[in-house]
Amino acid sequence: MVLGLRRFPWGLLGMVLLFLLLLASLVLMGDAAQNSARFEQLFLWLLAFHGLVLVALGTLIIYQFSRLIVQYRDGVPGSRLTLRLVAGFMLVAVLPVTVVYYFSFKFLNEGVDSWFDVRVEGALEDALELSRSSLDLRVRQLAQETQEIMGQLQDVSESLVPLALNDVRAQMGAQELTLVGANNRIIASSTDSPIRRLPSPPGSDVLLRMSPGQPFTRLEPQADGSLVIRVVAATGNRRPGADSRILQGIYPVDPRMSALAVRVQDAFVDYREFAYLRGPIKQGFIFTMSLALAISLMAALWAGLLVARRLVRPVTDLAEGTRLVASGDYSTRLAVSRDDELGFLVRSFNAMTRTLSEARQEAERNRRLLDAERAYLESVLQHLRSGVLALDGSLRLRTANGAACQILECDLWAGHNRFLSEYDGECPLVSQFFDAISDALTRREQEWSREVVVFTRTGRKVLMTRAVWLPNLGNNRGLHAIVFDDMTEFLRAQRDAAWGEVARRLAHEIKNPLTPIQLSAERLSRRLGKTLHGSDREVLDRATQTIIQQVEAMKTLVNAFRDYAQAPRLALVPLDLNALLRDVCELYGGVEHARIVLDLEPGLPAIRADAGRLRQLLHNLIKNAMEAVAQQPAGEVRVATRALDDGNGRRVELRVADNGPGIRPEFLERIFEPYTTDKPRGTGLGLAVAQKIVEEHGGIIECHNQPSGEASGGAVFVIRIPVDHGGDTGDVGDERQ
């Protein structure tokens, strides 16, 4: 995965475009501020544009800020740094702008006000008043003169008026003199320039404002900037029907005086207009400045956000990459988009992750190899018939294989990492085993072996144990590797083989001389019995009879050994064990000192067995039990059958239990060995033969004493024989030998 791939810098492009647009708009605004017509055209558009820019920038900034804050709260890598940078940018941008704004505002307010001075304004007013006064003086003078001329012209006939007017006009330096009669009729007119314009009578507004004896005067500006004084004088009698005349004179103001007065007036007007516009000027400046500063500030904030994000992006990618590496993803690579220190950092990160990835792959390969080795080892251990235990230096159990669990009759896997000494109670064999080897373990002998005997309910187990101390394993705390084998069956088989050989030799070596001995004894009795009398005869008879009886006894013994050593060929057929049991037990119905209780499971599946051999087995067991309870006041032999499935296939279980004294523990472990008996007259071969018959049928036989707490007490023999699955019947004696 590659983080931080180079993307098109839309933000940067937008920022540049916005900057150009703002620059253009500010230039246009500056231009509009100098040009009224341009201002009228552009003001609304510029204002709307700047308003939109402000709103857009504000929205962008709020969006970016809210996104940043959400990322900060969510702990997104890089958000904290971005926020700090943005805060720094804001501080850097806002503080100078605020200072500039404050002082600019103050300067504008105070600076513009300082342009105006009361003394200047007063001087201008005085100058204007002076101009007015001098002009008024001239106006009054001309009014008086015009009124006097009007008096002179009142009695002049109309034919002479033009000449008189010319003279007077020339005399007074008037621009125009016009005499108007009734109904505003022009009687005569004189001008200093005939091409100037046609004379016009006084307007109605002038006539309306005239009062008797008081000439109308007005200072009038001209299009060329000069001033003229209009004076309209009338005769005293202006009654309707009377011959009233009006003289209108237009007098130019002295050009120098006119220019001075106009300049004073213009200066005064300009100053007053300027003073009047002081407020709007300040507002305009402040508005423009505020707008420009606000846009600049917001653009700076936005640019700060973008720049901060651009600056932090490699750091963010690094943080994200580091997080991914920390979470185990070593395939993370960062795109290198810079040549600066951050680019160097990114390249170093990529090199580091590549190295880590290779190291991890190598470690993974090794781990898989180790796992395979371990699995192989565990598989080997599990399939070993030898029990294997691994204990650490503090004698905690680290490993145990299935054979160990089976031999020690304990689920050692459940107690993984426990001290072996803690199994006391729940796993007595483990406890016994540990007691037997703890001294060697504690001493940490380098290598040792010993035969350990543990006792179970069914007898004892002989465990051939070998161990080695490996001090450098198990995280340097050392490891005891213990291997043990259950030699019980092996030893028993050895003993069985030895006894079989003994039996065979006895049968061969002893039985053969017995018949001649018996025949010889009988012959001695017949031949010498006729010749001897009295006590000699009795001695002979007793001796020969003793010889014959002992020979018979020895024959019986040898036959029993023969039976043990050489089993007959088996004729396996499906057999109903319950029926056979009832048949056999009937034979013991007449026994007085004990009773047989049958507890046979109905519908017991058939077994494949040789009926004769099995009958012999049942006789041996029942006879043995009956003899065991012979001394009991209420002797009882309980025979029970049931079907079970113990995980090794379906079997039929036969239990023969008595309430006798039980079997002495020292005999219990060798109960099925030949010539093992605690009866004064037993051959010691009954149970050995019984075990042989059971094994010939593929079954097992166990013997144990019933727990003392149980009501019956005594010994229990348990036999389990596989159920018949419908195989061929036939003679399998060869395989069962």
Partner 1 sequence: MRYLLAGAIVLMLLAPSATMAAEIRQADHVWQGDDRLLVRMYLDMGLPDVVLDALANGVGVDFVAEARLEYRRWLIGEQIVTAQTRSVRLEYYELSRHYVVTDHDREQTDLAPTLGDALELLARRLGRMVLDVDRNSLRPERDYTLATRIQVDHAALPLPLQWDARLRSAYVTRLGWYRWSLD
**Residues within the interface to partner 1 (CB under 8 A):** 33-34, 36-37, 39-40, 43-44, 47-48, 50-51, 54-55, 58, 128, 131-132, 135, 205, 209, 218-221, 223, 227, 261-262, 265, 268-270, 272-273, 275-277, 279-281, 283-284, 287, 290-291, 293-294
Name the residue nearer to partner 1 (CB basis): 138 or 169: 138
Name the residue nearer to partner 1 (CB basis): 137 or 491: 137
Name the residue nearer to partner 1 (CB basis): 289 or 640: 289
Strand 571-575 and strand 730-731: the pairing is: antiparallel
Q: Which residues contact 577 (CB under 8 A, 6 or more apart)?
A: 604, 606, 607, 609, 614, 641, 652, 654, 721
In the complex, what is the shortest distance from the CB of residue 295 to partner 1, in angstroms, rounded to a whole number?
A: 10
In the complex, what is the shortest distance from the CB of residue 311 to partner 1, in angstroms, rounded to a whole number?
A: 27
In the complex, what is the shortest distance from the CB of residue 272 to partner 1, in angstroms, rounded to a whole number?
A: 5
Instruction: Give exposure, 347-361, as e/b (b: 16+ Cβ within 10 Å).
Output: eebbeebeeebeeee
Name the residue nearer to partner 1 (CB basis): 262 or 395: 262
In the complex, what is the shortest distance from the CB of residue 54 to partner 1, in angstroms, rounded to a whole number?
A: 6
Q: Nearest to residue 261, comparing CAs of 227, 230, 220?
A: 227
In the complex, what is the shortest distance from the CB of residue 180 to partner 1, in angstroms, rounded to a whole number?
A: 19
Rounded distance between C-alpha atoms, residue 72 and residue 405, angstroms: 58
The answer to whether 723 and 650 are in contact (CB under 8 A) is yes
In the complex, what is the shortest distance from the CB of residue 36 to partner 1, in angstroms, rounded to a whole number?
A: 5
**Helix crossing, 488-505 with 686-696: angle to 10°?**
110
In the complex, what is the shortest distance from the CB of residue 148 to partner 1, in angstroms, rounded to a whole number?
A: 23
In the complex, what is the shortest distance from the CB of residue 121 to partner 1, in angstroms, rounded to a whole number?
A: 12
Name the residue nearer to partner 1 (CB basis): 260 or 319: 260
Name the residue nearer to partner 1 (CB basis): 5 or 223: 223
In the complex, what is the shortest distance from the CB of residue 41 to partner 1, in angstroms, rounded to a whole number?
A: 8
Q: Nearest to residue 669, comparing CAs of 437, 500, 495?
A: 495
Would you state the structure tokens that stand for residue 248, as one six-digit string?
């209108």
Chain CA centroid to CA 387, Å: 44
DSSP-assigned letter for residue 338? -
Tabulate helix, strand, coil % of the chain (nearest 5): 55, 20, 25
Rounded distance between C-alpha atoms, residue 189 and residue 206, angstroms: 18
Name the residue nearer to partner 1 (CB basis): 209 or 368: 209
In the complex, what is the shortest distance from the CB of residue 50 to partner 1, in angstroms, rounded to a whole number?
A: 8
Name the residue nearer to partner 1 (CB basis): 265 or 706: 265
Alpha helices in 396-427 (DSSP H): 402-408
Q: Which residues contact 236 (CB under 8 A, 6 or more apart)?
A: 212, 213
Name the residue nearer to partner 1 (CB basis): 58 or 682: 58
Alpha helices in 210-328 (DSSP H): 255-276, 278-326
Name the residue nearer to partner 1 (CB basis): 61 or 306: 61
Rounded distance between C-alpha atoms, residue 102 and residue 65, angstroms: 26
Alpha helices in 468-510 (DSSP H): 488-505
| Residue listed under structure tokens 């007017």 | 165
